[in-house]
């Protein structure tokens, strides 16, 4: 039986809070748990994170696996990233537009520096596609 120390989500919609729990690895995120070790509330600056160090070490010595998020929380390196799909879609579109303008500008500068005539529109589009493929890799 493999055990995991992880965060179980509690709280209401758009206001998550988390319990630090010990549970079977195969159980659901918010399913059965064996022990509650602490809590994490990203929206409460005074009582943001607290856990019982003795019980944490006991479970860890007994072979419980610790998730990345819990490890970062304990080391104070965890940064809560608020999910907002509306913002990310807009940012992705602006990034794509910026990349395209940079590519077109780079192609024009290369042509001027080489002293060649401008390439036909089809060749410019092919170059754009190749560079975006390279950047996405």
Structural domains in the chain (count): 2
25 with 64, same domain: the answer is yes
The distance of Cα 99 from the centroid of its chain, to the nearest Å, equals 22
Q: Where a domain ends, among 28, 53, 74?
A: 74
38 with 70, same domain: the answer is yes
Query: What is the per-residue pLDDT for 115?
Result: 56
Confidence band for 13, pLDDT divided at 50, 70 and 90:
confident
Query: What is the per-residue pLDDT for 135?
Result: 67
Beta strands, E only, the chain: 3-12, 15-24, 35-40, 49-51, 65-66
13 with 60, same domain: the answer is yes
Give CA–CA dist 130/48, Å, rounded. Answer: 47
pLDDT of 118 above 60 = no
Instruction: Let me know if residue 52 belongs to a domain.
Output: yes
Provide, rounded to the nearest whole percent, the portion of the chain with pLDDT above 70. Answer: 69
Instruction: Let me know if residue 80 belongs to a domain.
Output: no
64 with 90, same domain: the answer is no
64 with 103, same domain: the answer is no
Query: What is the per-residue pLDDT for 116?
Result: 52
Full-model pTM: 0.55
The domain that holds 39 is classified in CATH as 3.30.1320.10
Beta strands, E only, 1-135: 3-12, 15-24, 35-40, 49-51, 65-66
Q: Where a domain ends, among 49, 74, 99?
A: 74
Per-residue pLDDT of 32-72, as tens digits, reads 778 889 988 888 877 888 888 999 999 999 888 998 888 88
Per-residue pLDDT of 87-103, as tens digits, reads 655 666 666 666 666 66
Instruction: Let me know if residue 79 belongs to a domain.
Output: no
Q: Which of 23-32, 46-55, 114-123 has maximum average pLDDT?
A: 46-55
- Domain hosting 57: range is 3-74
Instruction: Let me know if residue 8 belongs to a domain.
Output: yes
18 with 37, same domain: the answer is yes
Q: Where a domain ends, among 46, 74, 102?
A: 74
């Amino acid at each position: 039986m493999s055990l995991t120390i992880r965060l179980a989500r509690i709280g209401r919609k758009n206001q998550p809070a988390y319990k630090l729990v010990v549970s079977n690895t195969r159980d659901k995120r918010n399913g059965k748990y064996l022990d509650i070790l602490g809590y994490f509330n990203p929206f409460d600056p005074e009582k943001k994170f607290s856990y019982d160090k003795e019980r944490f070490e006991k479970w860890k010595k007994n072979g419980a696996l610790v998730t990345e998020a819990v490890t970062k929380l304990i080391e104070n390196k965890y940064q809560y990233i608020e999910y907002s799909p509306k913002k990310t879609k807009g940012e992705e579109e602006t990034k794509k537009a910026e990349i395209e303008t940079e590519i077109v500008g780079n192609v024009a500068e290369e042509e001027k520096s080489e002293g060649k005539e401008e390439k036909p529109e089809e060749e410019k589009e092919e170059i754009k596609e190749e560079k975006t493929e390279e950047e996405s890799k």
